[in-house]
Structure 1
Amino acid sequence: MRIFWTFFWSFLLVQMLTYVVSSMTAGAEYNFAQGSIAAVGVTILILIATAVIPNEPVENH
């Protein structure tokens, strides 16, 4: 379920970002496929980052 929600929110936010950036760039068109591919990449990067970061508490020395 964690992977689904990560993809869901990254998909929505990346599509929004793609739309805004394409609207601000002169002569660029909104491309749904480009935003979808970027959303998959962002989801993979987020999942890798959460796997690398340790979850254990730090011991007091």
Structure 2
Amino acid sequence: MTIFWALAIGTVASYVLTSMAGEPFVFTEVLILAGIFAVAAIVLAEFILPERKEE
């Protein structure tokens, strides 16, 4: 599910930013960026952030 949201949000953000800059929208670059964000989110969630302790 993380990969889906990374792709969806990355696509929207890239489209808006490239439209504002007047640059062409390149979907392959969006896929690469979404992959990087998804891997970073998974690494943060699994290894770096501490687990919450329920009281």
Paired residues in the alignment total: 53
Let me know the Cα RMSD of the aligned residues: 1.4
Which aligned segments of 4 or more residues in structure 1 are displaced greater than 2 angstroms?
none
- Which stretch shows the higher mean deviation, 34-43 or 49-58? 49-58
**For 2:7, what is the secondary structure of its paired residue?**
helix
User: How big is the shift at 1:39?
Assistant: 0.3
CA distance in 1, matches of 2:12, 2:52: 35
TM-score (norm 1): 0.79
TM-score (norm 2): 0.87
Match of residue 31, structure 2, among 33, 36, 42: 36
What residue ranges of structure 1 are gaps of 5+ in the alignment? none
Opposite residue 17 of structure 1, the aligned amino acid is A
* Higher helix fraction (1 or 2): 2
User: How big is the shift at 1:56?
Assistant: 4.1
CA distance in 2, matches of 1:45, 1:25: 26
* Greater Cα radius of gyration, structure 1 or 2: 1
Q: Relative contact order (alpha carbons < 8 A, sep ≥ 6): 1 or 2 greater?
A: 2
Tell me which residue corresponds to 1:15.
11
